[in-house]
Amino acid sequence: MTKPPIDLLQGTVDVLILRTLAWEPMHGYGVARFIRQRTEGVLTIESAALYQALHRLERKKWIRAEWGLSENNRRAKYYSLTADGRKQLREEAATWRSYAEAVFKVLEPV
C-alpha cells in the first residue's frame, strides 16, 4: 500500500472533520458517513485515519468528546467543536480556499 504524503493527508482529514463537526456534534461513525455522503464517494477516507485524526484533534483541544446516546439508543462517543477548533477551521478553510484558487488560476486558461 503506497501512502500519500502524510502531512497533506493529515491536514486534509483534519479540516474535513472540523468542517463536519461544525454542523453538529457527531460520533465517529457519523463523521465517516457524513463525509462519504457529502463527497458523493469521490473522497474516501480510510476509517482508521479518521479515528486517529479524531483522537489527535481531541488532544489538540480543537474538538472535545462526551459520551452520549446514539440514534439507536447505544452509548456512543460524541465529538463536538471547541472554540479553538472553530478558529482553526476558519484558518484552514481560508488556506484551502486560496490553495484551490491558486491551482485553478493555473488550470483555467486551458
Partner 1 sequence: MARPRRYLRFPWRSSSRLRADLEEELRFYFDMRTRELVEQGMSDADARREAVREFGDVEYTKRYCLAEDAMSRREERRTDYVAELRQDMMHSWRTFRRSPGFAVIALLTLALGIGANTAIFSVVNGLLLRDLPFGEPDRVVRVWGAHKDSGVDRSQISAGDFIDLRTRQRSFTALGAFAWGGGTYIGTGDPVRLSGARVDANVFRALGVRPYLGRTFVAGEDSSGVNPTIVLGFGAWRRVFGGDSSIVGKTVNISGRANTVIGVLPPTFFFPTMAEAEIFTPLDLTPLLRDVNRSRKFHNLGAIGLLRPGVTVAQAGAELKGIAAQLERDFPQSNSNMTVATMGMRDAVVGDTRPALLVLLGASLLVLLIACANVAGMLLSRAVSRRQELAVRAALGAGRARLVRQMMTESLILAMAGGAIGLAVALWGTHALVASAGDRLPAASQVTADATVLLTALAVSIASGVVFGLVPALAASRGIQLALKESGRGTSSGVSRHRMRTALVTGQLALAVMLLVGAGLLVRSLVGLQKRDLGYSIESTLTFELILAGDRYDSGAAQDQFFDALYARLEALPGVVAVGGSGNIPLRGGASASLAIDGRPQPEGRLPEVGYQPVSDNLFKAMGVPLKRGRTFGPQDRQDSPPVVILSESAARAYWPNGDPIGARVRLGPNPNDPWMTVVGIVGDVRIGVDGESRPTAYVSGRQDHWGGMAIVMRTTSEPTSLLPAVRREVRALDRTIPVSDAYSMKQVRTQGLTDRRLPMQLMAAFALLALVLAAVGVYGVMAYSVAARTREIGVRVALGAQPRNVFGMVVRQGMGAAAAGLTLGLLGAAALGRVLTSLLYGVKPTDVFTFVGVAGVLLAVVLAACLVPARRAVRVDPLEALRSE
Site residues for partner 1 per CB under 8 A = 27-29, 32-33, 46-49, 51-52, 54-56, 58-59, 70, 74-77
| Dist CA 19 CA 85 (whole Å) | 10
CB of 50 or CB of 89, closer to partner 1: 50
**Closer Cβ to partner 1, 29 or 96, answer by number:** 29
In whole angstroms, the minimum distance from the beta carbon of 3 to partner 1 comes to: 11
Cα Rg of the chain, angstroms? 15
**Cell matching residue 101:** 484558487
Q: How many residues does the chain have?
A: 110
**Residue 74 DSSP SS3:** coil
CB of 48 to partner 1, least distance (A): 3
CB of 24 or CB of 68, closer to partner 1: 68
| CA 102 – CA 56 distance, rounded (Å) | 29
